[in-house]
Amino acid sequence: MAGSVSDNSRGRRGKKPIAYIVSMGAGIEAFIYREIEALCERGYSIVLFATRFKAGDVFSPKAEWSYHVLPLTRMLLLAPVLFARMLVRPALLLEAIRDRGLVDLVFATYFSSLMKREGVGQIHCHFGDHKLFIGYYCKRITGLPLTVTIHAHEFYTNPNVRLFRKALAACDRIFPIARRWCELLEREYDVPASRIRLNRLFVDTELYRPVSPVKVIAAGRFTERKGFQDLLQAACELGDLDIHFIFVGFGEIDLRDLAQRLGISRRVTVFGKMDQEQLRFMYQDADILCVPSITTEREGAEGIPVVLMEGMACGLPVVATNCGAIDEIVETRIVDEGAPSQLAREIRELALDPELRKKEGRRNRRIVEKNYSSRNAVQFSEWLDEVASGRG
């Protein structure tokens, strides 16, 4: 099983691709994902070799990243072929059996042929566990240089300490992520300092920084009627202000892709469907609620969206369209349907005036307390009782 294969088979300055041996059983680890992104941005070509794989994770490989996986079913189908290849190197096979690394050798036998096909020039493993053991056997088979990034778990919960020591000795370079692990490798594992490079993990400090933007939240199904595409267009007109747009929901429209195409993805965050507790937290952390709904042939118009009751109860000022019965609950800042510039105008006024946001938020809470509180459920139950008793 193989993923997308990039047309750029040669990386930075004509260098051969780097084989990255990782686990993708729960997606790629976020810090590994960032590292691969950074290397690709610098022109390197990376080919992923996964010991495990789960499709659809938020940190699944990008479409342009090449990756290979050996699922159990394919391993069983290829068993005769892989065993025949291992018999070509009987000494390595016996060593793997003795070191309890037979399964790692099976993976390495399969991956090695793919590395040759991909024109790989070196092998890098993230974590000094089975990923490194596979890399070690790949080096024995291919003769390619081997490196590894070392974290903490290798020292405390390593599945095969004997093979770990042997693989470390075979590495051309070792990259611990903390100074403590550098010292431990030298002291306890006899790794020469000349082969160790402290390689701290990193974050993008342009993304991870203190911020205090005005947060505009919109929640609901990602369908045409909700008008979220108009809110994204409005966001384009508000690029001069520090405003972040948060969408919560699910549906057919890919808001992330649309934000990317509009060039505003850094000011837009899209969350999936949330439960009531999660959504309440989002309302209470936001500054403005926007309901930019439009009337469509397929879905019709809005009734009175529950998100309005929820957000207004949390004290949020609202910008909404005149779709359906929205104006029965929203008293001000009603704009025309399908008018991104009008949405932008109202959001701008609220974003620039914190006191105005508080004032309108307090008024909105009073509206909900008066007309949309849980007293309505009590009234409904009483009406049902009237019908049941024949008094209705």
pLDDT at 54 over 90: no
Round to whole Å and give the CA distance between 177 and 149: 7
pLDDT band at 204 (very low <50, low <70, confident <90, very high): confident
Q: Please check whether residue 359 lies inside any domain of the structure.
A: yes
pLDDT at 72 over 90: no
Answer yes or no: do 304 and 155 share one domain.
Answer: no
Please tell me the least confidently modeled range out of 49-63, 130-144, 289-303, 350-364: 49-63
Answer yes or no: do 81 and 186 share one domain.
Answer: yes
Section 23-49 average pLDDT: 93
Q: Please check whether residue 203 lies inside any domain of the structure.
A: no
Count CB-CB contacts under 10 A for residue 375: 11
Token reading at 267: 């000011």
pLDDT band at 58 (very low <50, low <70, confident <90, very high): confident
Section 83-96 average pLDDT: 95
The residue type found at 25 is G
Q: Please check whether residue 133 lies inside any domain of the structure.
A: yes
User: Percent of the chain scored above 90 by pLDDT?
Assistant: 84
Answer yes or no: do 274 and 188 share one domain.
Answer: no
Section 45-60 average pLDDT: 89
Residue 392: predicted pLDDT: 57
Section 52-80 average pLDDT: 89
Q: Is 13 helix (H, G, I), strand (E, B) or coil?
A: helix
**If you average pLDDT over every residue of the chain, what do you get?**
93
Phi, psi (deg, nearest 5) at residue 230: -70, -35
Answer yes or no: do 97 and 228 share one domain.
Answer: no
pLDDT at 51 over 50: yes
Residue 190: predicted pLDDT: 96
Each residue's pLDDT tens digit, 90-107: 999 999 999 999 999 999
CB-based contact 132:126 (threshold 8 Å):
no
Burial class (CB in 10 A: 0-12, 13-18, 19+), 70: buried
Q: Please check whether residue 277 lies inside any domain of the structure.
A: yes
Q: Please check whether residue 4 lies inside any domain of the structure.
A: no
What is the count of structural domains for the chain? 2
Each residue's pLDDT tens digit, 350-371: 999 999 999 999 999 999 999 9
Q: At what angle do helices 179-189 and 161-170 cross, to 10 degrees?
A: 100
CA distances from 280 to 231, 276, 362 (A): 21, 6, 17
Q: Please check whether residue 361 lies inside any domain of the structure.
A: yes
User: What domain range includes position 157?
Assistant: 12-195
Answer yes or no: do 229 and 258 share one domain.
Answer: yes
Residue 107: predicted pLDDT: 96
Residue 275: predicted pLDDT: 93
User: Percent of the chain scored above 70 by pLDDT?
Assistant: 96
Answer yes or no: do 161 and 273 share one domain.
Answer: no
Where among 161, 195, 229 does a domain terminate? 195
Q: Please check whether residue 386 lies inside any domain of the structure.
A: no
Each residue's pLDDT tens digit, 268-304: 999 999 999 999 999 999 999 999 999 999 999 999 9
pLDDT at 4 over 50: no
Answer yes or no: do 92 and 24 share one domain.
Answer: yes
Round to whole Å and give the CA distance between 64 and 6: 6
**E runs forming strands in 173-291:** 173-176, 214-219, 243-248, 268-271, 288-291
Q: Please check whether residue 5 lies inside any domain of the structure.
A: no
Instruction: Supply the CATH number for residue 298's domain.
Output: 3.40.50.2000
Each residue's pLDDT tens digit, 145-177: 999 999 999 999 999 999 999 999 999 999 999
Answer yes or no: do 333 and 292 share one domain.
Answer: yes
